[in-house]
Structure 1
Amino acid sequence: MASKLKTIKPLVGTIKPLVGRPKGEKARDQHRRGNQPWRAWYKTQRWERLRRKAFERDDYTCQRSGEICGGTGNDPNTPVANHRKPHRGDPALFWDINNIETVTKRIHDSLIQAEERKAEREQ
């Protein structure tokens, strides 16, 4: 009678993946920073001033839902400066205030992200 192999299943979970990149939000951010150097633009005072200018122009009102953006941090109604046309590292599109709209975090993280994923699939 052949014996069953009992030790392989627990060991499989400990093997590090050899293909792709590590999982998790921290690893994802690190990967994106390494492959998309323009992400550093979001950490500049220039970007902070530009987004605030867009918020003030739009009266802190979501341009998609009409909702007042009064939250902070991860609140669903926190204002987010969204690039209407994704810039993909193009400085002209990134720094153009006419390409920036105020939206709520809820709209940005759901509706807008879904639109961008759909557009990428259709390319």
Structure 2
Amino acid sequence: MPTKGPRVCGYCGLTHMTGEQCRFVAARDKARKASFDRKRPNARERGYTRQWEKESKAFLEDYPFCIRCGKPAQLVDHKTPHRGDQRLFWDRTNWQPLCHHCHNSAKQSEERRASRKVKL
């Protein structure tokens, strides 16, 4: 089966196999994420308290399957990001059951794309 050939990295100028990440890019990404995490409030400060755990567990009992793929849901996601708005945070019509895979892949990508459009 044919594979893609190596590519020239736009960051370091060296060639890397397709799918292989440049060590300089990996280090840059790690530093960027660490910087963001230092500035971000922790989960409790963002509203994910004991009360949230209780309410989300009850919600998952009512809606046990991921709305995207149909697998068992493991978490409750906010359809519209609440960004600290407590009214939107607790609005059950803004909640949806998701599995970890759907939440961490497709949903996060959609939110990143949407936030880029807002900044433009």
Superposition TM-score, scaled by structure 1 size: 0.63
Distance 1:25 1:80, change over 3 A: farther
SS in 2 for 1:33: coil
In 1, Cα distance between equivalents of 2:50 and 2:44: 17
What one-letter code is carried by the residue in structure 2 that aligns with 1:64?
Answer: R
Match of 1:23 among 14, 31, 36: 31
Distance 1:38 1:104, change over 3 A: same
Unpaired runs of 5+ residues, structure 1, are 1-21, 70-78
- Compute the RMSD of aligned alpha carbons: 2.4
Percentage identity across paired residues of the two chains: 34
In 1, Cα distance between equivalents of 2:57 and 2:65: 12
What one-letter code is carried by the residue in structure 1 that aligns with 2:39?
Answer: H
> Does 2:51 align with 1:46?
yes
Higher RCO (CA-CA < 8 Å; seq separation 6+): 1
> Does 2:67 align with 1:63?
yes
In 2, Cα distance between equivalents of 1:92 and 1:106: 27
Q: What residue number does 2:91 align with? A: 96
On the 8 A contact 1:38/1:89 being kept in 2, the answer is no
